[in-house]
Structure 1
Amino acid sequence: MEMTLLHLTTGFLLWMCCATHKASAGAACEDPPLIEFGKIVSGIKSEYEENDRVQYTCDPGYALSGSEWVTCHGKVWMPGPPQCLERPCGSIPSVANAAFEGRSKEKYEPGETVRYQCHEGFQVTGPPEIFCRRGTWSTPPICEDVRCGPPPENPNAHIISTQQQRYLPGAKVHYECESNSQIMGVNYVICSDGHWTKVPNCRGPVQVLQKDANTPARKNG
């Protein structure tokens, strides 16, 4: 009786061992490989059997190169894990009152840069270059209008320069004071950053006080 019980116990342990080994050996493939800038989104299991499939996807800004589905076949994932490659950028964003350097292309590779040049009379605000990253261009600059409008008026002077609607930075407009008045300082204004410098000042003639002939001269002492 004791021998029979021993045999049964030994047999049960051997069966458990073999069953456990068989379950472990039943995994046809190891876990599917991880990929940079992507992840597995479908078919995840604790153990993978023959013909099991998993699906990959890429992070935003990256494009899948290869098959999104791979299959466990003969302990190997077929056709092999895909790659996630950084997306290129499309056409260059337009910037008002500016042109970009170089030739236009339909597609720009990641890392490529484009430089803008503002038109005359406009000044760049922000970095003049943009770069392609993950299929998106960085923020383009703004070309701010730094021209000046009509020059300021001076009630005691008139403008002698040819007048325009808009003036480029550095432009000068000259004034001439009315008769019997004299200009103080420079006789012009300069356009700078969209504004005019201080308008010239015209001062009237100095009045000389005449002594009254009827007023007796003051004696010394």
Structure 2
Amino acid sequence: MFYSNAWSKCLICLIFLTSGNAECPKPQVEGNVVLTNDALLMNDFPEGEEATFECANGYLKEQGSERITCTSGEWSTLKLTCKKKDCGAPRKMPHLSYEFKEGTLFGASARAICDKGYQLMGPSYRQCYAIGWSGRPRCKVVTCDKPPEIMHGTIVEKPGKELPEYGGVIQYSCNEGYTLIGNKSIECTEDGEYNSLPPECKDVYDILLKPTTISTSSITTTSTVPPTIRDVNDILLKPTTISTSSITTTSSVPPTIRDVNGILLKPTTISTSSITTTSTVPPTIRGRNNGVGEHDTNAATEIAAVVGSGIGTVISKNSIT
């Protein structure tokens, strides 16, 4: 009876001790933390055992402890927090820049951009990994083909390198006796092409002169020809030209005159007259003996009468003055 009670007490103690040393299950991983390699190799997690964690690839420890403890078959709460790694700006390279639309944290990508006149060599995008930025792009200057030679001319200036680079200028000159047609210089552009064709050298005697445009004007003159008059023997008579005469007289006003009583006399106003006579005389007509015809006598008489009348009028007015 004694042995039976003792055995029962020992069995109860063994059950109590066994239940108090219960193992914990394998820890579960969530978020951006993972078990360390040592914890992954463990199969049993008895009472009081610890498991260690670390930040996942691309993440860094921000705060908290990396360890948890098995107590009464349960794990303690993990306090570790991790954040994304920041790759920062890539190392600077000549004529190379980046566009950061996603930032510089782990997982982000950046686009590589070359300056004008340079071409990208390598990947156009870089990825931020745990070890840093991927790829190594670079920018190479654009080059043009070897500058062409020209007939009857030479290259007087060009860059030192065999293949001109972006912005390089090549200048041409013609030999003596030749004229340069086109641009005297060409430049290597960002597309790897020259901005124009090379010039040509032409023989000065082969160059066509630009025709000169001469405007013509039309001048029309009109003259009045007197009628042809012939005598009785059908001989052409030469017309007689009479010039126009103009007679102009000018009178001056006498000084102020007073009478014997000192009274001012009213001056006499004398107007100036101008007589211009123009006569058209028919051609002289002569008879068989080359004498003056009837028409000549009448015309001469008319002219004398008119001129005499004008002169008489002028003389008459002057005498009144």
Q: What amino acid is the match of 1:87?
A: K
Number of the residue aligned with 1:218: none
Asked if 1:144 is matched to 2:140, the reply is: yes
Q: What amino acid is the match of 1:142?
A: R
* Counterparts of residues 199-218 of structure 1 (less than 5 Å): none
Higher strand share: 1
The count of corresponding residues between Structure 1 and Structure 2 is 186
Asked if 1:32 is matched to 2:27, the reply is: yes
Aligned partners of 1:84 and 1:102: how far apart in 2?
23
Instruction: Flag structure 1 segments of 5+ consecutive residues without an equivalent.
Output: 1-7, 205-221
Q: What amino acid is the match of 1:79?
A: T
Aligned partners of 2:155 and 2:38: how far apart in 1?
78
Aligned partners of 1:156 and 1:74: how far apart in 2?
102
Following TM superposition, by how much is the alpha carbon of 1:143 offset from its aligned partner in structure 2, in angstroms? Answer: 0.3
Following TM superposition, by how much is the alpha carbon of 1:69 offset from its aligned partner in structure 2, in angstroms? Answer: 1.0
Aligned partners of 2:94 and 2:15: how far apart in 1?
72
Closer, same or farther: CA 41–21 of 1 in aligned 2, 3 Å: farther
Asked if the contact 2:70–2:76 (Cα under 8 Å) also holds between the matched residues in 1, the reply is yes
Closer, same or farther: CA 199–83 of 1 in aligned 2, 3 Å: same
Number of the residue aligned with 1:124: 120
Aligned partners of 1:165 and 1:62: how far apart in 2?
51
Closer, same or farther: CA 120–171 of 1 in aligned 2, 3 Å: same
Following TM superposition, by how much is the alpha carbon of 1:83 offset from its aligned partner in structure 2, in angstroms? Answer: 6.0
Q: What amino acid is the match of 1:110?
A: F
Range with bigger deviation, 109-118 or 68-77: 109-118
Q: What amino acid is the match of 1:30?
A: P
Q: What amino acid is the match of 2:132?
A: T
Q: Where do 4+ consecutive residues of structure 1 move more than 4 Å?
A: 18-25, 81-86, 147-156, 162-168, 180-183, 186-190, 192-196, 198-204
Q: What amino acid is the match of 1:46?
A: D
Higher helix share: 2
Normalising to structure 2: TM-score of the pair?
0.41
Following TM superposition, by how much is the alpha carbon of 1:61 offset from its aligned partner in structure 2, in angstroms? Answer: 3.3
Asked if the contact 2:151–2:201 (Cα under 8 Å) also holds between the matched residues in 1, the reply is no
Report the 3-state secondary structure (helix = DSSP H, G, I; strand = E; otherwise coil) of the residue aligned with 1:29.
coil
Closer, same or farther: CA 31–111 of 1 in aligned 2, 3 Å: closer
Deviation per residue, 1:79-133 (Å, 9 max, x gap): 2274665422133222222233469xxx821233333332333211123332313
Following TM superposition, by how much is the alpha carbon of 1:153 offset from its aligned partner in structure 2, in angstroms? Answer: 6.9
Following TM superposition, by how much is the alpha carbon of 1:70 offset from its aligned partner in structure 2, in angstroms? Answer: 0.8
Closer, same or farther: CA 91–99 of 1 in aligned 2, 3 Å: closer
Q: CA RMSD in A?
A: 4.8
Number of the residue aligned with 1:79: 77
Following TM superposition, by how much is the alpha carbon of 1:67 offset from its aligned partner in structure 2, in angstroms? Answer: 2.3
Number of the residue aligned with 1:99: 97
Aligned with residue 69 of structure 1, among 52, 67, 70:
67
Number of the residue aligned with 1:214: none
